[in-house]
Amino acid sequence: MTAAFYVAAVVAVLATAMVITRANAVHALLYLVVSLLAVAIVFYVLGAPFAAVLEVIVYAGAIMVLFVFVIMMLNRGEQAAQQERQWLTPGIWIGPAVLSAVLLGEIIYMLWQGPASVPASAVVTPRQVGMLLFGPYLLAVELASMLLLAGLIGAYHLGRQERHAAERDIQKERAGRERETVAR
């Protein structure tokens, strides 16, 4: 199974190199997702299937979707349709598609090989992780939950502030208009 590691490692490095050299944020995100999927395969080969699943669900799923949402919110809108047409040229998606196809081939190969392809000697099962996580590492779990709560409140506060200011602007405008009508 060492070949799978090397192929996934090369894909990860190539995709990461493409991420930091792209001019367009969405193109970089495509490569970043491929890079994270490749790292997930590396995790699997290294005998950490639980971490591989978490990598796909949380990193390539949730965090990347957050990035996509923010980039969509930052989109100016006027040249959006033209940009969309530009983005869908084959030159853009062929790179991530080829790299993902390599990863897909790797997964099919590993499934074809059956359980024998898994490095059985070093596999750390989710059960072991869970027992350790809620035993000796319980304090760390609590701290992580506090951190996530702080992140939640921070993101809410930062995202809310501007709407407050906008409401204030609207109220100021309305008050000004009322003053105008009273003066008239």
Partner 1 sequence: MSVVPMQYGLLLAAVLFALGTLGVLMRRNIIFMLMSIEIMLNAAGLAFIAAGSRWGQADGQIMFILILALAAAEVSVGLALILQLYRRLATLDADVASRMRG
d(CA 31, CA 67) in angstroms, rounded, equals 13
Residue among 182, 181, 159, 162 at smallest CA distance from 170: 162
**Residue 77 or residue 90: which is nearer to partner 1 going by CB?**
77
Stretch that binds partner 1, among 55-63, 80-88, 99-107, 169-177 (CB under 8 A): 55-63
CB 39 within 8 A of CB 55: yes
Comparing CB distances to partner 1, the nearer of 29 and 99 is 29
Window 110 to 129, contacts with partner 1 (CB under 8 A)? 116, 119-122, 124, 128-129
Residue 88 CB coordination number (10 Å): 9
- Least separation in angstroms between CB 143 and partner 1: 8
- The window from 89-97, 103-111, 144-152, 167-175 that contacts partner 1 (CB under 8 A) reads 144-152
Q: Which is nearer to partner 1, 32 or 103 (CB)?
A: 32
Q: Does 138 bind partner 1 (CB under 8 A)?
A: no
Cα 170 to Cα 182: distance, rounded to the nearest angstrom: 18
CB 40 within 8 A of CB 52: yes
